Structure 1
Amino acid sequence: MSPLKVTQMKSVIGQKGDQKRTVKALGLKRIRHSRVHGDTPQIRGMLHKVRHLVHVEEVDE
């Protein structure tokens, strides 16, 4: 599976604490900040939890 590019699109201000921690664990620090992660079940679960705050796209290796 190809890597996933995760971009934070919305602020974590006003979100629940577990969602803030999940965004931080994904390595995102601010709006429009991006990180590339491997496509694993753990990452997919984290992305599902904060799907309303991030944008996800597949990238070529």
Structure 2
Amino acid sequence: MASKQIKVTLIKSPTGRVARHRACIRGLGLRRMHHTVSVMDTPENRGMINKVVDMLAIEES
């Protein structure tokens, strides 16, 4: 069974944000502006996405 993936793109800079928010960005695998990654749809990843949702563009597939 294939698990669901979520495409996440960083659209706002993490500069000047709280260290925990920057850690969530790095934890999702995002490295720079307009970088897109596909992550597994797990509760852990959803929690990180919800912390910094204002900085991300999310596409569920």
Aligned residue among 36, 39, 56 for 2:38: 36
Q: TM-score, normalized by length of structure 1? A: 0.90
State the AA in 2 paired with 1:56. Answer: I
Counterpart selection for 1:45 from 37, 41, 47: 47
3-state DSSP of counterpart to 1:20:
helix
Runs of 4+ more than 2 Å apart: none
Shift of 1:58: 1.2
Percent of aligned positions that are identical: 36
SS of the counterpart of 2:9?
Answer: strand
RMSD of equivalent CA atoms: 1.0
The answer to which structure has the higher helix fraction is 2
| 1:14 positional shift | 0.7
Distance 1:38 1:17 in 2: 23
Give the aligned length.
59
Q: CA deviation at 1:2?
A: 2.7
- Identify which of 22, 26, 37 aligns with 1:24: 26
